[in-house]
């Protein structure tokens, strides 16, 4: 079964005085179809943890394996391929390319292997329809609302059929109504497609929608309420 | 769907403003490159066009220093195969250096133009012109013998109009070389007086005809061929053949074909074949039995020359032909006296001797037997005739002395040498019963002997043609009639130039041979052959041995040479690329800055793509493709702009910078090469810059890119330490280089100081950059805030400072290389003069001055030194054509020695070989170095060596040169002059010059020092020399003026560089304004916040303005300070004044431009809507 295993991960930043420890000996496991919220105050290291899980950053110590693979042992090209095929990102700022249409933005991850195939284009259209933007696929980001842009980001994160979805404050820039609808959409898609989902958020209304809530405090993860 | 192409195209459109700015930068760089290439192509094309225009249809030219038959032109035309290669061959008389005079109305003075070309032509000449409109005028086509056509430059110089009358002065032809002791020194110039000017032609087409590749307009006079033939007494003769091609391109094998086909006869070489026969009176009476050979004293053909001595190449060929008939060579020379050196037995020794006698050097043969059997005279043995023996009262075994004048003289004085001989035999001389009559006949009652032969002596005008020895028009110095006795007169009456004595041929050659030759005649027994046969065989032998080529009678492929030379000395495309360097640099830096700006805007896009798993190379490839498309569009736009820029440069060269090229001959012309090459180069350079701009992103993490971190924040910690080290190191190096410069001089000093300045520039720029990198340290004031803003983006701010500093440094520091005339350039001489006709006597000698000018003393005790001149290409920077046959000066011993005692007045030297210890510290003496007999030591100006001849080997390097007379010389550079008035030529010692160019006689270049009193009015000196030597076309020019003209070329290029550099800086400053605009846009939120907090628009505008002004001023200050450190020391030392007004103007323009461009950013700031800005819209 597909599994995300995080074992003893620590992250330190060097400073002129003594190293600044952000994450301390942190462990986490997740299986396909599961989702978890990581909450914590500002500066607690939530985004750092997400970046390590997404291989955008490296841990000072510890290991991360996804589906049995340690991504940090891969070469740069292998790592890029790994990330492209196994991980989907949803950022707070959505990072849609302003000059491309909705459809083209969803297809951007396919560029890693050249131009999108016909199947990928069909899949993109399906995903756009699933996020409720079928009639907007030729619009540019400036021509849709903030919530709709984030939906596009959700669809983009699924185009490569990844094992793991990582969302960093996905609703941070949205109003309450849009936030909850985007969060619900994300969870629905994740559950339906049996992905693993880690959501970093500081919103309790969002974290309450997920199966587990983990508090990142003093560099360590603590369960908030659910039984493991 | 091609998503990547869609991304590229849509990104270009979406970020259009930034991309347009990048495209503009690429367009500017491309435009400058295209423009520079266009200038180069136009220059080459214009030089080529000028070559084709000035030569018309003439392909090949033969110009000799002697006259030959006009009929040769027809012979050449009638040769099979001529019509395939050529259209016509014309005979002309051509003089490259004559003088024209136009008397003023009073007739008391005249305007003179010297160094003019004179052509004696027929009407067919003009038909070979490329400008056919010139030949429509009847006055031109049917010019009369007393008329002249001038080209406009000559008419302007003389100040004449159509209808005026002028006089032309030309060297007389076919004479004994003037440096020969027995040659006439006077009356060597012929004048054509009262020639009416019937037309003044603009200097186009053949009216600007010249055989020398030079863009300067020649001064030329055209007269009829017949007029010159008559005046020079050369009926049916010419000294030049001009051969016209079939079309404008020269025939491939034309020169070789002509040299193979042409047959020059002995007459063409100035030779005479005469029969000399003297027979006994018995034959005259028709004695029965026919001619008795024994009664014939002598009967032979002699081959002699108008030049008295046969040139070595000619003599060898004639002897080679004569050998088949047992002919023999002889040299007959004038003995100043023949004296007995031992007292005779019977009477008082004739100590005075016999004056002015002939002695012949010839070998003992059966045709000329003066010794029994096959006896051979030793070098110190002599045979005298009976009259001489009787006069001197000497006999066999006794000693006599021959006193003679050295065969070469150059000071209007000759050296007397002597040689003692032992009398080996006395030969009989029969006294005629009647002496020579007015028809040259004499009568013998007793049989004459072989030794009664005056024909052994060559004909010398003024001597051999005189009735009496007393009437000699002796050309040699020291002739004293008082020495002539009655006995001498009687001898003359009976025997004329019959030799009194005979030595061996070897002895004669050794004593009386010269650089002009060592044989006066070749004798061929008449019984064996005929005049016609001798002539035919000589013609063939001359051709077989290529004798004409050895004496300068060969064809030159002038059109081919001219077209080859039109590639030019200076690659103007490279030169203008260099001059426009800063515009290109500014454009490239702007492309880099603007492209990087665009990239920085899209860091998050790059981070996203990386986060999504698109490999970094693939991501960067997208941006590179986008950049290439933009660069391509920019380059394409740059091509038409480049044509405008090039045309503007050409206009500049025709007007403001005409000092660099001399005349306004340049025309815009180009092929597809310039635009294509410029386009490709601009594109490639821009592509490289764009690639380097994005390459730095290769190792940036996706996370940092997503977070929008710039290079500055990432690399600030790393680079903080090395900048101060660079600064310290640069200062130390700069001080050392500058200190070294104080020990140097001239250009080397300038280079050292500029090098020190560059080090200072590097140090100050590094310090400025280091300061920009250091956070904090600014006061909480508006200015302090502006400074801290500037520090936020170190790379942009640092590049701004570096760009402005470098540009302003370059513009100012180039002033260090401005040149001004000084004593080191003129060697202490105030005047440099040239004469059109040679002056036969070294004017440094009082004797020569007395003989030539009538007085040894010069006004104001001025001093004059003469130099010989071998005509050739002007290899100075004034001539844009490539020089392959530079003119050569022969430097006299007195000139060399002048600097032994005047080291302070010496010429400046760039470099010279080491001077042997114990010798005077005078590099001119290196010309006397004869340690290597394979090469000729020469001195040459460094500018001539480097820029005109492309001789980069420096002192000690050896080179080979071939001149148009076929002569090849090997030279070795022993010293290099620095910015001297002697640019444009090679200098060798007088002795080497005479040996290398034996046919060049006299002096044509002079350096005059008007002596000690600088306040003295020199007009008297100028008038004295120019009037006294007016016949020779003596023309004096101030050395200051000459140096100004020479130095103007380099100074003009410096001015062009400074002007273009300033333009480049203005361009760069405006571009930086665009960058500042971008900065403002990026900070719109914080600026809007400050507005929300109560800052007035004006105050915010001042903030932005101060930031830009601070960077601009910092850059200018760094550049100016560094430049001053470079320029001032050298200028103080050399006395050159920098063009402060011009430079200050440009700096002010740059500052104003910067402030104007910054104003755009200020306006943007003031007018930005606050709320929208807070929202980031």
Q: Is B785 exposed, middle or buried (0-12, 13-18, 19+ CB in 10 A)?
A: middle
> What's the pLDDT at B459?
85
Partner residues linked to B118 by β-bridges: B95, B221
> What's the pLDDT at B86?
92
The answer to whether B626 touches B1111, Cβ cutoff 8 Å, is: no
Please indicate whether, in this complex, the C-beta atoms of A54 and B611 are within 8 angstroms of each other: yes
The answer to whether B868 touches B939, Cβ cutoff 8 Å, is: no
Q: Which residue is associated with the tokens 């003692």?
A: B420
Residues of A in Cβ contact (< 8 Å) with B603 = none
Evaluate whether residue A118 is within a structural domain. no
> What's the pLDDT at B1013?
53
Nearest to A100 among B7, B614, B615 (CB): B7
CA–CA gap between residue B400 and residue B384 (Å, rounded) = 10
CA–CA gap between residue B192 and residue B228 (Å, rounded) = 8
Boundaries of domain holding A167? 3-95+162-223
Nearest chain B residue (CA) to A56: B703
The answer to whether B977 touches B910, Cβ cutoff 8 Å, is: yes
Residues of A in Cβ contact (< 8 Å) with B609 = 108, 111
Domain ranges of chain B: 1-53+578-715, 58-171+178-247, 271-552, 721-826+1051-1177, 831-1017
What is the nearest CA distance from A191 to chain B, expressed in angstroms?
A: 22
Residues of B in Cβ contact (< 8 Å) with A156 = 612
CA–CA gap between residue B821 and residue B858 (Å, rounded) = 26
> Quick one: tokens of B491?
């001898």
Model pLDDT for residues A58-116, shown as the tens digit of each residue: 899 999 999 889 988 998 888 888 888 899 989 888 888 888 899 998 998 888 887 88
Q: How many residues does chain B have?
A: 1177
Nearest chain B residue (CA) to A47: B703
> Quick one: tokens of A209?
């929608």
> Quick one: tokens of B1041?
């003026």
Q: Going by C-beta distance under 8 Å and a sequence separation of 6 or more, which residues neighbour residue A104? A: A97, B3, B6, B7
Residues of B in Cβ contact (< 8 Å) with A160 = 613
Partner residues linked to B988 by β-bridges: B890
> What's the pLDDT at B1176?
57
Contact A115/B at CB under 8 A: yes
CA–CA gap between residue B88 and residue B73 (Å, rounded) = 9
Residues in B lying within 8 Å of A, measured between beta carbons: 1-4, 6-7, 10-11, 13-15, 604-605, 607-616, 618, 701-703, 706
Exposure letters B1036-1047 (e unless 16+ CB within 10 A, then b): bebbbebbbbbb
Please indicate whether, in this complex, the C-beta atoms of A111 and B10 are within 8 angstroms of each other: no
Evaluate whether residue A61 is within a structural domain. yes
CA–CA gap between residue B505 and residue B500 (Å, rounded) = 15
Residues of B in Cβ contact (< 8 Å) with A98 = 14
Q: What is the CA radius of gyration of chain B?
A: 40
Higher pLDDT, B707 or A39: A39
**Helix or strand run (H / E) with residue B357:** strand B354-362
**Structure pTM?**
0.81
Query: B308 by DSSP, 3-state: which?
Result: coil
Q: What is the CATH number of the domain that holds A209?
A: 3.40.50.300
CA–CA gap between residue B281 and residue B283 (Å, rounded) = 5
Nearest chain B residue (CA) to A77: B615
What is the nearest CA distance from B615 to chain A, expressed in angstroms?
A: 6
Residues of B in Cβ contact (< 8 Å) with A56 = 611, 701-703, 706
* Interface confidence (ipTM) of the complex: 0.80
CA–CA gap between residue B76 and residue B195 (Å, rounded) = 32
Q: Going by C-beta distance under 8 Å and a sequence separation of 6 or more, which residues neighbour residue B1125? A: B734, B738, B753, B756, B757, B760
> Quick one: tokens of B265?
């006869």
Partner residues linked to B889 by β-bridges: B869, B987
Evaluate whether residue A208 is within a structural domain. yes
Average pLDDT, 10 consecutive residues per value, chain B (1177 residues): 91 91 89 88 89 92 92 93 91 93 81 92 88 67 90 94 93 72 75 91 90 90 94 92 85 86 91 90 50 70 92 95 93 92 48 86 80 84 94 92 86 79 94 87 87 90 83 79 89 94 95 93 91 95 91 90 84 78 79 82 87 88 92 94 90 87 85 90 89 81 76 48 80 80 67 79 88 67 77 80 84 75 86 91 83 82 91 90 93 91 78 85 91 90 91 92 84 94 95 91 91 60 86 90 86 80 77 75 72 70 83 88 78 65 77 79 71 58
Q: Going by C-beta distance under 8 Å and a sequence separation of 6 or more, which residues neighbour residue B395? A: B344, B389, B423, B426
Chain A interface test: which of B3, B697, B706 (most A C-beta within 10 Å): B3
What is the nearest CA distance from B562 to chain A, expressed in angstroms?
A: 60
What is the nearest CA distance from B10 to chain A, expressed in angstroms?
A: 6
Evaluate whether residue A47 is within a structural domain. yes
Q: Is B104 exposed, middle or buried (0-12, 13-18, 19+ CB in 10 A)?
A: exposed
Instruction: Tally the domains of chain A.
Output: 1
**Alpha helices, DSSP H only, in B15-90?**
16-55, 71-77, 82-85
Report the DSSP pairing between strands B831-839 and B1003-1009. antiparallel
């Amino acid at each position: 079964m597909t599994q995300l295993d995080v074992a003893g991960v620590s992250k330190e930043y060097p400073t002129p005085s003594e190293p600044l420890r952000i994450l301390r000996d942190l462990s986490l496991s997740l299986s396909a179809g599961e989702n978890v919220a990581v909450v914590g105050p500002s500066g607690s290291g939530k985004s750092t943890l997400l970046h390590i899980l997404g291989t955008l950053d490296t841990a000072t110590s510890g290991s991360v394996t996804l589906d049995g693979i340690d991504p940090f042992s891969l070469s740069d090209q292998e790592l890029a391929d790994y990330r492209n095929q196994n991980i989907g990102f949803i950022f707070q700022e959505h990072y849609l390319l302003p000059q491309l249409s909705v459809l083209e933005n969803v297809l951007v991850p396919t560029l890693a292997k050249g131009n999108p195939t016909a199947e990928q284009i069909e899949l993109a259209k399906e995903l756009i329809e699933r996020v409720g933007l079928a009639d907007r696929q030729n619009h540019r980001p400036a021509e849709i609302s903030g919530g709709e842009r984030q939906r596009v980001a959700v669809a983009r994160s699924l185009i490569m059929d990844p094992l793991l979805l990582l969302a960093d404050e996905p609703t941070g820039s949205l109003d309450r109504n849009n936030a909850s609808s985007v969060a619900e959409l994300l969870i629905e898609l994740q559950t339906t497609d049996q992905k693993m989902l880690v959501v970093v958020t500081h919103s309790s209304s969002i974290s309450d929608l997920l199966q587990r809530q983990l508090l990142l405090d003093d560099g360590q993860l603590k369960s908030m309420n659910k039984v493991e | 769907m091609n998503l990547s192409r869609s991304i590229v195209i849509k990104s270009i459109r979406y970020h259009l403003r930034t991309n347009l700015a990048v495209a503009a930068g690429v367009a500017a760089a491309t435009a400058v490159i295209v423009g520079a290439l266009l200038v180069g192509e136009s220059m080459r094309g214009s030089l080529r066009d000028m070559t084709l225009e000035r030569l018309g249809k003439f392909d090949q030219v033969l110009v000799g220093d002697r006259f030959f038959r006009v009929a040769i032109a027809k012979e050449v035309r009638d040769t099979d195969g001529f019509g395939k290669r050529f259209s016509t061959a014309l005979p002309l008389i051509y003089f490259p250096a004559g003088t024209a005079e136009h008397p003023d109305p009073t007739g008391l003075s005249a305007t003179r133009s010297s160094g003019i070309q004179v052509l004696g032509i027929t009407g067919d000449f003009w038909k070979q012109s490329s400008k056919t409109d010139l030949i429509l005028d009847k006055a031109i086509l049917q010019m009369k013998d007393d008329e002249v056509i001038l080209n406009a430059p000559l008419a302007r110089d003389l100040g004449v109009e159509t209808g005026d009358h002028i006089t032309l002065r030309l060297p007389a032809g076919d004479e004994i070389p003037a440096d020969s002791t027995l040659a006439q020194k006077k009356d060597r110039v012929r004048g054509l007086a009262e020639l009416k000017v019937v037309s003044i032609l603009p200097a186009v087409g053949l009216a600007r005809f010249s055989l020398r590749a030079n863009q300067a307009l020649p001064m030329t006079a055209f007269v009829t061929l017949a007029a010159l033939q008559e005046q020079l007494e050369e009926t049916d003769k010419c000294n030049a053949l001009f051969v016209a091609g079939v079309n404008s391109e020269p025939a491939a094998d034309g020169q070789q074909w002509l040299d193979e086909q042409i047959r020059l006869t002995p007459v063409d070489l100035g030779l005479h074949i005469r029969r000399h026969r003297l027979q006994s009176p018995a034959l005259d009476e028709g004695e029965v039995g026919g001619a008795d050979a024994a009664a014939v004293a002598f009967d032979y053909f002699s081959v002699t020359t108008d030049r008295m001595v046969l040139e070595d190449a000619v003599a060898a060929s004639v002897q080679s032909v004569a050998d088949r008939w047992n002919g023999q060579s002889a040299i007959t020379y004038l003995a100043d006296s023949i004296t007995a050196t031992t007292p005779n037995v019977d009477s008082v020794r004739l100590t005075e001797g016999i004056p002015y006698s002939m002695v012949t050097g010839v070998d003992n043969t059966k045709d000329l037997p003066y010794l029994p059997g096959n006896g051979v005279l030793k070098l110190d043995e002599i045979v005298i005739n009976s009259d001489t023996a009787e006069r001197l009262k000497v006999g066999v075994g006794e000693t006599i002395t021959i006193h003679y004048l050295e065969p070469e003289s150059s000071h209007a004085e000759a050296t007397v040498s002597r040689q003692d001989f032992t009398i080996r035999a006395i030969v009989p001389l029969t006294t005629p019963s009647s002496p020579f009559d007015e028809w040259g006949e004499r009568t013998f009652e007793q049989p004459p002997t072989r030794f009664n032969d005056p024909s052994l002596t060559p004909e010398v005008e003024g001597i051999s043609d005189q009735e009496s020895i007393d009437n000699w028009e002796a050309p040699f110095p020291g002739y004293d009639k008082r020495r002539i006795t009655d006995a001498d007169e009687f001898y003359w009456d009976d025997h004329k130039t019959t030799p009194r004595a005979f030595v061996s041929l070897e002895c004669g050659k050794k004593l009386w041979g010269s650089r002009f030759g060592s044989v006066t005649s070749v004798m061929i027994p008449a019984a064996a052959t005929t005049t016609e046969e001798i002539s035919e065989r000589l013609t063939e032998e001359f051709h077989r041995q290529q004798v004409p080529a050895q004496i300068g009678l060969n064809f030159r492929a002038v059109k081919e040479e001219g077209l080859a030379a039109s590639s030019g000395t200076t690659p103007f495309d490279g030169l203008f690329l260099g001059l426009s360097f800063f515009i290109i640099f500014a454009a490239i830096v702007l492309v880099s800055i603007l492209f990087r700006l665009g990239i920085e805007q899209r860091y998050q896009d790059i981070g996203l793509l990386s986060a999504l798993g698109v490999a970094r190379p693939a991501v960067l490839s997208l941006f590179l493709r986008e950049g290439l498309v933009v660069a391509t569009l920019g380059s394409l736009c740059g091509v038409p702009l480049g044509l405008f820029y090039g045309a503007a440069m050409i206009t500049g060269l025709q007007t403001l910078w005409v000092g660099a090229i001399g005349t306004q001959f340049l025309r815009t012309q180009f092929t597809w090469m310039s635009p294509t090459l410029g386009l490709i180069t601009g594109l490639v350079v821009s592509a490289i810059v764009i690639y380097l701009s994005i390459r730095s992103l290769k190792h940036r993490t996706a996370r940092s890119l997503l977070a929008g971190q710039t290079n500055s924040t990432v690399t600030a910690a790393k680079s903080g330490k090395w900048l101060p080290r660079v600064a310290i190191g640069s200062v130390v190096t700069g001080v050392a280089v500058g200190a070294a410069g104080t020990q140097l001089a001239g250009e080397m000093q300038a280079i050292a100081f500029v090098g020190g300045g560059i080090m200072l520039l590097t140090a100050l720029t590094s310090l400025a950059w280091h300061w920009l990198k250091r956070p904090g340290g600014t006061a909480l004031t508006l200015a302090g805030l502006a400074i801290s803003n500037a520090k936020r983006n170190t790379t942009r701010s640092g590049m701004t400072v570096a760009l402005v500093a470098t540009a302003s440094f370059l513009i100012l520091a180039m002033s260090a290389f401005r040149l001004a005339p000084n004593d080191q350039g003129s060697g202490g001489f105030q005047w440099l003069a040239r004469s059109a006709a040679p002056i036969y006597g070294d004017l440094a000698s009082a004797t020569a001055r007395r003989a030539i000018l009538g007085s040894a003393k010069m006004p104001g005790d001025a001093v004059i030194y003469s130099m010989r001149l071998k005509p050739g290409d002007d290899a100075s920077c004034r001539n844009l054509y490539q020089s392959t046959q530079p003119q050569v000066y022969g430097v006299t011993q007195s000139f060399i020695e002048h600097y032994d005692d005047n080291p302070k007045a010496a010429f400046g030297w760039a470099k010279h070989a080491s001077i042997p210890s114990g010798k005077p510290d005078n590099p001119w003496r290196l010309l006397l170095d004869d340690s290597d007999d394979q090469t000729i030591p020469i001195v040459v100006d460094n500018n001539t060596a480097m820029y005109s001849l492309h001789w980069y080997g420096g002192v000690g390097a050896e080179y080979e040169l071939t001149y148009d007379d076929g002569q090849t010389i090997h030279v070795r550079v022993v010293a290099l002059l620095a910015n001297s008035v002697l640019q444009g030529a090679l200098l060798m010692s007088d002795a080497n010059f005479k040996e290398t160019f034996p046919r060049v006689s006299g002096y044509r270049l002079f350096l005059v020092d008007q002596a000690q009193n600088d306040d003295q009015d020199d007009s008297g000196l100028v008038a004295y020399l120019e009037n006294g030597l007016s016949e020779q076309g003596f023309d004096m020019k101030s050395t200051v003026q000459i140096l100004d003209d020479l130095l103007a070329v380099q100074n003009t290029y410096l001015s062009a560089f400074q002007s273009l550099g300033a333009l480049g800086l203005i361009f760069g400053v405006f571009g930086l304004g665009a960058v500042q605009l971008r900065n403002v846009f990026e900070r719109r939120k914080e600026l809007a916040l400050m507005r929300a907090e109560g800052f007035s628009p004006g105050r915010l505008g001042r903030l932005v303005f101060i930031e830009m002004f601070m960077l601009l001023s910092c850059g200018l200050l760094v550049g100016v300070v560094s430049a001053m450190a470079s320029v001032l020391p050298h200028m103080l030392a050399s006395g050159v004044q920098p063009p402060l007004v011009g430079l200050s103007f440009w700096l002010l323009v740059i500052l104003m431009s910067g402030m104007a461009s910054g104003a755009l950013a200020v306006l943007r700031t003031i007018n930005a809507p606050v709320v929208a800005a807070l929202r980031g819209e």
